[in-house]
Amino acid sequence: MEFRDVMLRRRMVREFSAEPVQSEVLDRVLEAGLHAPSAGFAQGLELIVLEGAEQLSEFWRITDPRGRKHSNDRPPPVVVVPLTDKSAYLKRYAEPDKQGLGMDVEEGWPVPYWDLDAAMSVMLMLLAAVDEGLGAWFFGIFHGESALLECLEAPEGLQPIGALALGHPAPGERRRGSATKRPRRELEDVVHLGGWA
């Protein structure tokens, strides 16, 4: 698929068919996430992949106890939890070529690039999913973060930036969410040529 088509077709898909995602397709989507840029090429991202009734029901039980996100009967067959590893960035920026920037401590970072880089990886996976004919949905984890980390046996210090659901769109699935209620901003409203004018 042409890049522009992938970009324009991408939207969050929130209802999935029961069809499983083939492992080689899933691998290609996950692999796309490894092509994201990252500060100092620190690559402080880990991807936990949850599949199957046991893992997924545990994920939803912990993160969505009121069943608001998965209350529909068309849940995703795969959920990826991207975890950021801030310590990888602090370690990387303590290396000789980065010394003196003061970024070997968290306070030295003007922006938490571990989160930014993870978002870039997620974006690539969202696009790769479209390219593979899958639907994908990024959503926040607003509940049970520490219980989830414990359940996943994630090493200390790792943090989820949200979750990425993947699967085949359910028949009849249609756009939902905020994008159906709010217009996309126009280019001339967003772009400020030469300054704020």
Ligand X SMILES: Cc1cc2nc3c(=O)[nH]c(=O)nc-3n(C[C@H](O)[C@H](O)[C@H](O)COP(=O)(O)O)c2cc1C
Residue 179 near ligand X by CB under 6 A: yes
Burial 94-114, CB ≥16 within 10 A → b, else e = eeeebeeeebbeeeebeeebb
| Site membership for ligand X, residue 60 (CB under 6 A) | no
Q: Helices (H), strands (E): how many in the chain?
A: 7, 5
- CB of residue 82 vs ligand X: minimum separation in angstroms? 11
The answer to whether residue 139 forms part of the interface with ligand X (CB under 6 A) is yes
Told to check if 178 binds ligand X by CB under 6 A, we report yes
> SS3 for 156?
coil
The secondary structure of residue 100, as a DSSP letter, is: T
98 lies in the site for ligand X, by CB under 6 A: no
Q: Is the Cβ–Cβ distance between 148 and 81 less than 8 Å? A: yes
Q: Considering the rule CB under 6 A, would residue 138 count as an interface residue with ligand X? A: yes
Determine the interface stretch with ligand X among 21-29, 59-67, 133-141, 164-172 (rule: CB under 6 A): 133-141
11 binds ligand X (CB under 6 A): yes
Select the span of 20-28, 37-45, 101-109, 134-142 touching ligand X (CB under 6 A). Answer: 134-142
Contact by Cβ (8 Å): 132, 33: no
Q: Which stretch binds ligand X (CB under 6 A): 32-40, 77-85, 106-114, 172-180?
A: 172-180
Burial class (CB in 10 A: 0-12, 13-18, 19+), 151: middle
Give contact residues for ligand X (rule: CB under 6 A).
Answer: 11-12, 138-140, 162, 177-179
